[in-house]
């Protein structure tokens, strides 16, 4: 019996695989570190929420008619007869956790970030998986468009830090739950005369979630919708002012953007600002990340009236874009600093080698030895394969004299070092 991973899942490996070199754990760690550092620079603190949440949390807040809730959730009944769901996104869980732990009382303004796994039963293609990781932030407490601008700037700074270029920022405003029904009806009225010509998916959306008709890649639908009414023309004065102020702030910050009247995003909780960052390096699944404002979500989750805005950036898509752009990441060196090699009578040299290795590691040196072979050439080969900077050679003579041979692998220079001077000597070389 040979097991294989489930469809549209991936493994992140210790070495870069030939086919998808971005599935290399060291690259993931590097990108995660850059993200955490940028978040810290902007004053965001980390939150970690469980992978499983009550199903209701997502059904109520993402919205029953959305693609995620209607067909993509991994939902099951647990042994306690609860309906639970592997989280498809991180925003509702973050709001849930902050309410549950009363964080809004002590921190009326709360800026959080997370790096988390999400699960959606999607049909795989490049950049779309059933488990994906998001780098996200949620800024709670401020309704000021300057907060929107900060959140967007954080995402752009992150990509800039990684050297990703050529991405586009698109923004739109979806207004408020009060203004949206009028727009929804206007959109339906516009589409009704040619509804039969719309794609089957478009027709479904006409009934269930009309705004989502705008989010299509179908050429014919796009043509039919070219002159559709625009959300922005249905905004109340306050939403319009918010949207215009955000644009002024982005301009001041030197962040280029485009207003995209068709940008609606797939969550019911959004109000006012929505945005997406796309890259033409990604093919059909071109969204590097997206986000928006959600001024009623906290209250809808049973908390106080606290506005918020955030985003989620796809980790896989970020790594694919880096790969496609040919950007080499400064991944840390994972080779050992020293590699211990034994020669001679194993019953004498091996116990001493095991002890020295333990001391070296305790002192903080990345150190290793070969547990498979006592043969000298095999051990030397292993040291080379691992790319050790120094080797330490311990033979019978050295063991009895209390010394060890220290060899520089690049210059091939070798000298004897007293065992009790080994750690101080290595410190001068590190």
d(CA 413, CA 155): 49
Alpha-carbon separation of residue 308 from 62, 137, 179, 261 (angstroms): 15, 10, 19, 22
Q: Name the token pair of 167.
A: 């991405």
Question: Hey, which residues between 217 and 276 contact ligand HAM (CB under 6 A)?
Answer: none
Report in angstroms how near the CB of residue 267 gets to ligand HAM at its nearest: 6
* Beta-strand pair 75-77/83-86: antiparallel
Cβ neighbors of 385 (< 8 A, separation 6 or more) are none
- Residues in contact with ligand HAM, shown as a per-residue x/- string from 65 to 104 under the rule CB under 6 A: ------------------------xxx-------------
Interacting residue with ligand HAM among 141, 292, 303, 307 (CB under 6 A)? 292
Interacting residue with ligand HAM among 61, 66, 85, 134 (CB under 6 A)? 134
Question: Hey, which residues between 44 and 63 contact ligand HAM (CB under 6 A)?
Answer: none
Residue 280 or 385: the one with the smaller Cβ distance to ligand HAM is 280
Can you say how many angstroms the Cα of residue 183 is from the centroid of all Cα atoms in its chain? 34
Cβ(306)–Cβ(141) under 8 Å?
Answer: yes
Report in angstroms how near the CB of residue 270 gets to ligand HAM at its nearest: 7
Interacting residue with ligand HAM among 93, 141, 291, 307 (CB under 6 A)? 291
Residue 320 or 380: the one with the smaller Cβ distance to ligand HAM is 320
Q: What stretch of H or E contains 274?
A: strand 271-278
Interacting residue with ligand HAM among 27, 96, 128, 170 (CB under 6 A)? 128
Percent helix, strand, coil in the chain, to 5, is 40, 20, 35
Name the residue among 243, 223, 221, 226 with its Cα closest to residue 234: 243
Interacting residue with ligand HAM among 93, 290, 336, 395 (CB under 6 A)? 290
Report in angstroms how near the CB of residue 8 gets to ligand HAM at its nearest: 8
Interacting residue with ligand HAM among 93, 116, 310, 336 (CB under 6 A)? 310
Interacting residue with ligand HAM among 28, 104, 129, 183 (CB under 6 A)? 129
Question: Hey, which residues between 136 and 165 contact ligand HAM (CB under 6 A)?
Answer: 136, 138
Cβ(285)–Cβ(8) under 8 Å?
Answer: no
Report in angstroms how near the CB of residue 65 gets to ligand HAM at its nearest: 15
Residue 298 touches ligand HAM, criterion: CB under 6 A: no
Q: Name the token pair of 337.
A: 């600093």
Interacting residue with ligand HAM among 234, 311, 339, 390 (CB under 6 A)? 311
d(CA 189, CA 183): 10
Q: Supply the DSSP symbol for 117.
A: E
Instruction: Give the chain's length.
Output: 430
Radius of gyration of the chain (CA): 28
Interacting residue with ligand HAM among 96, 180, 317, 382 (CB under 6 A)? 317
Diameter over CA atoms, the chain: 96
Residue 281 touches ligand HAM, criterion: CB under 6 A: no
Binding residues (CB under 6 A) for ligand HAM: these are: 89-91, 120, 122, 127-129, 132, 134, 136, 138, 287-292, 310-312, 314, 316-317
């Amino acid at each position: 019996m040979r097991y294989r991973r489930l469809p549209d899942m991936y493994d992140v490996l210790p070495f870069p695989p030939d086919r998808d070199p971005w599935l290399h754990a060291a690259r993931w760690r590097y990108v995660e570190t850059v993200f955490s550092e940028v978040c810290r620079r902007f004053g965001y603190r980390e939150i970690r929420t469980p992978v499983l949440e009550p199903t209701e949390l997502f059904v109520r807040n993402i919205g029953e008619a959305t693609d995620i809730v209607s067909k993509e959730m991994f939902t099951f009944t647990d042994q306690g007869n609860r309906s639970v769901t592997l989280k498809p996104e991180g925003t509702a869980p973050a709001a849930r956790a902050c309410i549950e732990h009363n964080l809004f009382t002590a921190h009326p303004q709360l800026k959080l970030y997370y790096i988390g796994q999400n699960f959606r039963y999607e049909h795989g293609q490049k950049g779309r998986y059933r488990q994906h990781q998001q780098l996200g932030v949620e800024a709670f407490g401020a309704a000021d468009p300057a907060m929107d601008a900060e959140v967007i700037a954080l995402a752009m700074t992150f990509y800039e830090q990684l050297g990703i270029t050529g991405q586009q920022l698109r923004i739109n405003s979806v207004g408020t739950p009060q203004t949206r029904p009028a727009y929804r009806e206007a959109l339906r009225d516009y589409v009704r005369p040619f509804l039969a010509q719309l794609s089957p998916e478009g027709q479904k959306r006409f009934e269930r979630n009309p705004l989502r008709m705008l989010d299509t890649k179908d050429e014919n639908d796009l043509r039919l919708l070219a002159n559709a009414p625009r959300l922005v023309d249905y905004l109340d004065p306050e939403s319009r002012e918010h949207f215009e102020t955000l644009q002024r702030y982005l301009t001041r910050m030197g962040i280029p953007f485009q207003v995209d009247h068709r940008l609606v995003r797939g969550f019911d909780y959004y109000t006012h600002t929505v945005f997406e960052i796309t890259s033409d390096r990604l093919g059909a699944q071109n969204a590097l990340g997206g986000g928006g404002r959600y001024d009623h979500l906290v209250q809808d989750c049973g908390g106080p009236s606290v506005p918020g805005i955030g985003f989620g950036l796809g980790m896989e898509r970020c790594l694919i874009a880096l790969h496609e752009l040919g950007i080499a990441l400064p991944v840390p060196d994972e080779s050992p600093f020293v590699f211990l090699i034994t020669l001679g009578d194993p019953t004498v040299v091996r116990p001493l080698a095991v002890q020295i290795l333990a001391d070296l590691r305790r002192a903080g040196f990345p150190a290793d030895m070969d547990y498979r072979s006592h043969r000298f050439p095999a051990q030397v080969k292993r040291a080379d394969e691992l790319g050790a900077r120094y080797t330490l050679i311990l033979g019978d003579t050295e063991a009895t004299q209390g010394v060890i041979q220290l060899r520089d692998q690049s210059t091939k220079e070798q000298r004897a070092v007293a065992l009790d001077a080994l750690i101080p000597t290595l410190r001068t070389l590190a």
